[in-house]
Amino acid sequence: MSRRLLLAVSGGIVATDALLLDGAGTVLARARAGSTSVKRIGAPQVVAVVDALRAKVLAAAGEPPDAQVHRVVALLADIDLPAERRDLAAALSTQFPGAGVTVENDIHAVLWAGLRRPAGAAVYCAEGINAIARSATGRTFGYLALGTISGDWGGALSLGREVLYAASRAEDGRGPETSLRFHVLAAFRRRSVRDVVETLQGAEDLEERLAGLLPVLTAADAEGDPVARAILDRLAEEVVTMTRAAMERALVPPSGSDIILAGHVLTQGYERLDNRIDELFAERLPGAAVARLTLPPVAGAALAALGAEHGGPVGEVVSARLQESLHRLPEAG
């Protein structure tokens, strides 16, 4: 009798990870592919990427290419609206006949990967920012995470815009002087911030280059630059504000809850930002346990698949088995 196979997928704007595991929580194979952002590559290509990942992990696990996958959990970036989730789930169900298919935003991967208590919240801050809270009864609250139009601020892209905003105004006299101005010139090897802006305007890689200004911001902050410090302090405020608002709406009490922080902006180890975030959480959400995620988010997709497979929360033994096998298993080529 063949074993039950689960496919867990965690997809981002740049890269997508997949795990094949059995119902006992043992990871059988892992693989990586490119973007699964619907907004960047379209739903048909997202399905193609997931299907290619299935072929990779089945081959790596020694399973036949037509082996039945019983459950697919895909937690993907840019799946923000209910209609997007429904449409992609329907497309994947066609590609995986007979499988149970779940599609959610990738913030769920962070929540599942880090949650160790019955309730808590997760914040993911990379190029953009998002958060979600979940109560012990399964009540959840999250954000649309569509950027400025849905009230979002934060992430490397927002921070990069703030860096250029401040540097431009310092150069032309509309704003206070800031060392961000000189760090920007050094980063782009230009004589003026105006030249930098002219170079970036209309560039195909504009968002990537803006997001890449995070080291400029942290360098100026480390020098004590007040403008840079104000930007990072605002980020700390935003992380705590959106977490607290989500927890209140999901009816999650701070005491006895987990708060998981993920994404390179929050896990790069920048001490002053980390300390400020921790101070604000201790002040405004006392009793919550704050932790930076150390597992890859795809582990959260795997735990979500196992939770669905077992009809409830994943036990400690299953969770430990998944983590142990994940650490020792090489990535499929």
Instruction: Convert the pLDDT of each residue in 223-250 to its tens digit.
Output: 999 999 999 999 999 999 999 999 999 9
The verdict on residue 317 lying in a domain is yes
Predicted pLDDT at 82: 92
Q: Are 228 and 221 in contact (CB under 8 A)?
A: yes
Residue where a domain stops, chosen among 224, 251, 268? 224
Indicate if 127 and 57 belong to the same structural domain. Answer: no
Q: Are 37 and 325 in contact (CB under 8 A)?
A: no
Residues 137, 252: Cα–Cα separation, whole Å? 10
Residues 111, 126: Cα–Cα separation, whole Å? 15
Indicate if 212 and 248 belong to the same structural domain. Answer: no
pTM: 0.90
Indicate if 273 and 145 belong to the same structural domain. Answer: yes
| Closest by Cα among 8, 38, 242, 50 to 145 | 242
Structural domain that includes position 16 = 5-105+297-328
Higher confidence at residue 287 or residue 294? 287
Indicate if 244 and 130 belong to the same structural domain. Answer: yes
For the chain, the domain total comes to: 3
Predicted pLDDT at 1: 45
The verdict on residue 313 lying in a domain is yes
Residues 251, 276: Cα–Cα separation, whole Å? 25
Predicted pLDDT at 333: 60
| Closest by Cα among 285, 311, 152, 126 to 207 | 126
For residue 142 the two structure tokens come to 């999250």
Indicate if 91 and 207 belong to the same structural domain. Answer: no
Token pair 């977490």: residue: 243
Indicate if 21 and 82 belong to the same structural domain. Answer: yes
Indicate if 78 and 20 belong to the same structural domain. Answer: yes
Indicate if 140 and 236 belong to the same structural domain. Answer: yes
The verdict on residue 156 lying in a domain is no
Q: Are 304 and 102 in contact (CB under 8 A)?
A: yes
Indicate if 100 and 12 belong to the same structural domain. Answer: yes
* pLDDT tens, residue by residue, 170-223: 999 999 999 999 999 999 999 999 999 999 998 999 989 999 999 999 999 999
Predicted pLDDT at 293: 94
Indicate if 288 and 301 belong to the same structural domain. Answer: no
Indicate if 12 and 93 belong to the same structural domain. Answer: yes
The verdict on residue 157 lying in a domain is no
The verdict on residue 321 lying in a domain is yes
Predicted pLDDT at 23: 86
The verdict on residue 333 lying in a domain is no
Residues 59, 270: Cα–Cα separation, whole Å? 40
Indicate if 43 and 129 belong to the same structural domain. Answer: no
**C-alpha radius of gyration, the chain, whole number:** 21
% of the chain residues with pLDDT over 90: 84
Phi, psi of 69, deg, nearest 5: -95, 120
Q: What is the CATH number of the domain that holds 146?
A: 3.30.420
Q: What is the CATH number of the domain that holds 30?
A: 3.30.420.40
Per-residue pLDDT at 318 exceeds 70: no
Residue 80 burial (C-beta neighbours within 10 Å; 0-12, 13-18, 19+):
buried
Residues 11, 17: Cα–Cα separation, whole Å? 6
Residues 225, 217: Cα–Cα separation, whole Å? 9
Predicted pLDDT at 2: 60
Per-residue pLDDT at 314 exceeds 70: no
Q: Are 179 and 226 in contact (CB under 8 A)?
A: no
Cα 131 to the center of its chain, rounded Å: 9
* pLDDT tens, residue by residue, 50-103: 999 999 999 999 999 999 999 999 999 999 899 999 999 999 999 999 999 999
Pairing label, strands 5-11, 16-22: antiparallel
The verdict on residue 24 lying in a domain is yes
CB atoms within 10 A of CB 294: 11
User: C-alpha angle 278/282/283, rounded to 5°?
Assistant: 120
